[in-house]
A and B are shown apart, each in its own frame.
Chain A
Amino acid sequence: MRRGMWDREMVAALLLMASMPMVLTWLWFGGVEAIGRLALTLIISGLWHMVFMLARAQPPSLAGALSAIAVAMLAPEDLGLIRLALGISFGTVAAELVFGGWGRNVLNPATVTIAFLGFGFPAEPWPEFVAPVIWAALPALGIGAMFGILSMRVIFAAFVALGIAYYGGDPAISVILPTAVLVLALLVTDPVAGASTSLGRWLYGGAYGGFVVLFAYEWEGAAPVQMAVSAAFLASLFAPIFDEAALALWVRRRRKRHG
């Protein structure tokens, strides 16, 4: 009879709140240019949410703002209005809205947008981040994990994978590590696109860390953001398989125990 608070919009609002330390720091150091970029991504993604609300009766979600933020922060620079608008439209519509809105999507729309722009316009420079923005990703992860909207398992697994490589002692990893943490907070920990079983979450976080390490060693000439986003994209493609494997294992273990 009574209804609790963890419905879709509440989770989206909390995710937005959790990302605030990171976003505000980024805006503070990015100045007018960053504000303009964020406004642009917000408007375009908002427009598409409007279109789908009017045409398909899909109520818009605050999560749209979340992916707009991620795109504004991570997409390649100097794209110009048209190309950026094209990329966001593709990501928002094809990765989220056609599936029925946030919560029914398979991939994170921001990841798809950024990967699309990165592959489509490989010559454009990738953004770089000042240290305070990176540090602000840690409280963002902390707040999210505290409220239970970000999975602690994903965060731990990713940090373990990255940490092992870091203390393994190759200079290549220390260049990408800060950006990898930022992308972890912005894209990887998304509760919808990530894995949803506990073993699946460990594997998913570990896979993200593993891909980052792999790219750091083997992918020459790529920018840190490019590597981290590609790792996030690949890991989220694998997430359903991890879930399926975890479920199959769980069912098998139960069958063994209970016959």
Chain B
Amino acid sequence: MFGSIFTAGLIVPRVGPPLKPDAPARHITDEAAITPAHGEELRVEPLVGDGESVAQGQPLLRVRAMPDMYLTAPMAGRVAKIDLRPGHRLSQLVLFHDAGGDRYSFDVSLAGQDVDELRRVLQMSGLWRMLRSRPFGRVPKPGAIPAAIFVMATDSRPDAPDPLLRLWSREEEFSRGLDALSRLTDAKIFLCQAEATSYTGAPPAGVSRILTGRTHPNGLSGLMIHRHMPARVDASVWDIHAEDVADIGAFLENGYVPATRVVSISGDALREAKRVECQPGADLRGLCQPILRPGPHAVLSGSSLDGRPAHWLSLRDRQVTVLKRDTTSKNRHWFNEALDHASRRAPIIPTAALDLAFGGVLPAAALVRVLASGDVEGFTRLGGLSLLEEDLALADYATGARPRLMTQVRAILDRIEEEEGVA
């Protein structure tokens, strides 16, 4: 029945070689970039010029609309180029790595006592950008107050790196990060973790644990939020990855922005799949080049389900997927080709696969219908405001839907955002 604790999901067939269990090796690519998240519009003021040397963690760009919000250097190096589109919209800021570079130190001495100061240093250091606010999936505004914060210590996407592996050695930092989050707002904090491997550290008071299922999509923050604390336009819900919480903890301890994150590289165009520790915004080609199989391929930032073709590792992504690209041109009959162009796409048939793609907790067929018809009211009624593209990726995969549900959900969210005047 609806809302039960029974967690259902789908097992996605593996693409490519299995993930090696070795500890992730450090791999800093020669280039890295600061880019806006997908669909994000960032009007920025560059604080450095082309060719300047920068330290790791140094603020490089200031967000124009928000005085204290900065984007910081993912690694020490030299600024290669700053691409701005008209209206100071950031396209990318590319850096060349400098192995002997310095680390930028922030003054975090006051963040322990003062909440405003805590917010300010998080925004200065760029760590604030790891938070994601729903509905609409944007970086929260500087003064925003959430109804709840979900800390995701689990990730059920195929080949995703298990957050807990890294947390074992960082329990203290993680606890400090959780503590900082709980000081940040009065919001309830939920710590989501998978059943079998639980984080054993003692979370601070006011943090409730949620046990999630291990099968995809139960480890997605969207479903957890939908089930435990639905996001509304007037009550946004934030989510953040557990590793980023540990990063915040580490940052508040010593004032250095952590330099690496664990990223898994997998896919069928690779000779092996592995985890590495690389800088945020790493060059994806540089990351997967040593293990690439010859032949045409596509590099995605994200998992094989929700990944997007990209050059640089995207803001919150912890997965790189390299897939074979099919270049054989199909010799199709002209009539079928013409029919494909002229016809409306085949609808989705409500099967068990569709229900399980939403973990069995959502009325899937009804949701697909309101998405297809662009029914804003129905979408809101079904709790669609808690969802983002990644939450529909599995249904997209399972049903082979066209147009993709991910595109549809983004379109309807954008429309609601515009209507509500939140943007």
Residues of A within 8 A of B (CB): 1-9, 11-12, 53, 57-59, 61, 100-101, 103-104, 148-149, 151-152, 191-192, 196-199, 243, 246-247, 250-251, 253-254, 257-258
Contact = CB atoms under 8 A, between A and B. Distances in A.
Contact of B349 (A4, A192, A246, A251): A192
Given A148-B352, A192-B349, A196-B350, A2 B344 contact: no
Interface stretch (B239-247, B285-293, B393-401): B393-401
A64 to B, nearest CB: 13
Nearest to A146: B352
Contact of B398 (A4, A104, A199, A247): A4
A7 B349 CA distance: 7
Nearest to B356: A148
B321 A103 contact: no
B304 A6 contact: no
A7 B1 CA distance: 25
Nearest to A6: B353
A250 B363 contact: yes
Contacts of A250: 2-3, 363
Contact of B366 (A5, A197, A253): A197
B343 A58 contact: yes
7 contacts: A1-B298, A5-B400, A8-B348, A196-B366, A197-B365, A198-B355, A243-B366
Interface in B296-351: 298, 300, 304-305, 307, 321, 323, 339, 342-344, 346-351
Contacts of A192: 349-350
B1 A8 contact: no
Contact of A199 (B1, B300, B339, B382): B1
A7 B398 CA distance: 8
Nearest to A58: B343
Contact of B354 (A1, A6, A100): A6
B399 A59 contact: no
Interface in B1-56: 1-3, 15
Contacts, number: 105
Contacts of A251: 381-382
A254 B386 CA distance: 13
A148 B363 contact: no
Contact of B230 (A2, A104, A152, A258): A258
B304 A7 contact: no
Contacts of B397: 2-4
Q: Which 7 A-B pairs have the closest CB atoms?
A: A148-B352, A103-B347, A196-B365, A57-B342, A8-B346, A7-B400, A3-B400
B288 to A, nearest CB: 15
B334 to A, nearest CB: 14
Contacts of B364: 196
A132 to B, nearest CB: 29
A151 B347 CA distance: 18
Nearest to A196: B365
A11 B2 contact: no
A59 B305 contact: no
Contacts of B398: 4, 6
Given A5-B400, A148-B353, 10 more contacts: A8-B348, A9-B346, A100-B344, A103-B346, A104-B347, A148-B356, A196-B363, A196-B365, A198-B2, A247-B363
B257 to A, nearest CB: 32
Contact of B399 (A4, A151, A196): A4
B374 interface: no
A49 to B, nearest CB: 12
Contacts of B203: none
Contacts of A196: 350, 363-366
A8 B323 contact: no
B326 to A, nearest CB: 11
A188 B363 CA distance: 20
Contacts of A101: 346-347
Nearest to A152: B352
A99 to B, nearest CB: 10
Contacts of B348: 7-8, 103
Contacts of B323: 1-2
B346 A57 contact: no
Contacts of B305: 1-2
